Amino acid sequence: MSTSPNLKGVEESRASERYDRDVPPTLMVVDDDDDIRLLMTQLLRSEGYSVIEAATASEAETNTLEHPPHLILMDLSMPGTDGLSAIWHIRKQPEMATVPIIIVSAHDAFDLRAEAAAAGCCGYLTKPLDVTELKSIIKSTLESTY
């Protein structure tokens, strides 16, 4: 009788821990503007999501280690470490390598979009946010990812 674990079962268990359809997905909102972060958090919670907030890039990096989200909404311009640098750091965490990240920024330039794509972001929204577009991209991203 073999004492080695069933690796397929372990992988399936981890996948189910990652996103249980009976439990609302956890989203992380990263924005240094308190009002924007609060508005997004309230909107997302009203849509049934669990939300983790971070006011800085370094706080986001720490939070992803402590409470890995299913999706991250990341501002680019923040004091200290910017959003793109935070994404590269977050992506170094093995459990965060494939978590979808959507940029939410007031800046809309081709080079920023290209840098975001290179960092592995799956979407780019500009402020002021179109709430319908935000809800749609979150829903479609979660459905296609999990």
Q: Is residue 12 one of the residues assigned to a domain? A: no
Closest-CA residue to 122 (of 137, 109, 133, 135): 137
Q: Is residue 45 one of the residues assigned to a domain? A: yes
Q: Is residue 19 one of the residues assigned to a domain? A: no
List, for residues 97-116, the tens digit of each pLDDT value.
999 999 999 998 899 999 99
pLDDT computed for residue 19 by the predictor: 53
Q: Is residue 15 one of the residues assigned to a domain? A: no
Q: Is residue 53 one of the residues assigned to a domain? A: yes
List, for residues 30-54, the tens digit of each pLDDT value.
999 999 999 999 999 999 999 999 9
Cα-based distances in Å from 3 to 7, 117, 129: 12, 44, 54
The count of domains in the chain is 1
Q: What is the pTM of this model?
A: 0.84
List, for residues 65-106, the tens digit of each pLDDT value.
999 999 999 999 998 889 999 999 999 999 999 999 999 999
State the residue range of the domain holding 48: 24-145
**CATH number for the domain that contains residue 95:** 3.40.50.2300
Q: Is residue 1 one of the residues assigned to a domain? A: no
Tokens of 124: 């780019």
